[in-house]
């Protein structure tokens, strides 16, 4: 997957400049995605609307890998609509991923990485997903709105 194109995030009414001064580099967002312990996953269904839940995951090969019980609300929602939003825990160093979740079979390497981060790991937990980003928003609260950045693929 090629790297994203950075541009100014558009949040009308927040005084965000049009110029590129202060844009965050992709490495800043990717570093936080890799270091995070918990990721908030937001899915939706037409019957029950939005659903947010924290999960463990890995930033792996340009996307987020996480698992979920096969009969969980997340899994049921993703079976009907693969669109997902991922948000890290911090409101001070914000990274929000919009993308699509694809069900995958975890490789041995992925399970080793996952186990190194979250001892122990149960590969039979249910379904595993890879979230491929379409758009990512990133900013730092102390220098917002100057740091408000959007990354598109």
Per-residue pLDDT for 3 more than 90? no
Q: Domain 33-145, CATH 2.30.110.10 — does that match?
A: yes
| pLDDT single digits (tens) 86-100 | 999 999 999 999 999
Q: Where are the domains of the chain?
A: 33-145
Output the DSSP codes for the chain.
-PPPEEEE---TTS---SS-TTPPPHHHHHHHHHH-SEEEEEEEETTTEEEEEEEEEEEETTEEEEEE-TTSHHHHHHHH--EEEEEES-SSEEEEEEEEEEEEPPPHHHHHHHHHHSSS--TTSSEEEEEEEEEEEEEEGGGTTTT-EEEE-
Split at pLDDT 50, 70, 90, the class of 122 is low
Split at pLDDT 50, 70, 90, the class of 27 is very high
């Amino acid at each position: 997957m090629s790297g994203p194109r950075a541009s100014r995030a558009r949040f009308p009414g927040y005084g965000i400049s049009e110029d590129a001064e202060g844009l965050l580099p992709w490495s800043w967002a990717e570093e936080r995605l890799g270091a995070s312990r918990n990721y908030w996953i937001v899915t939706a269904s037409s019957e029950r609307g939005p659903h947010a839940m924290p999960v463990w995951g890995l930033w792996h090969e340009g996307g987020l890998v996480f698992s979920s019980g096969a009969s969980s609300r997340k899994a049921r929602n993703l079976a009907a609509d693969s669109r997902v939003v991922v948000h890290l825990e911090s409101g001070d160093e914000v990274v929000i991923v919009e993308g699509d979740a694809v069900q995958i079979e975890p490789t041995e390497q992925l399970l080793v990485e996952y186990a190194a981060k979250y001892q122990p790991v149960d590969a039979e937990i249910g379904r595993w997903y890879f979230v491929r980003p379409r758009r990512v928003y990133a900013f730092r609260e102390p220098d917002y709105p100057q740091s408000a950045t959007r990354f598109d693929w």
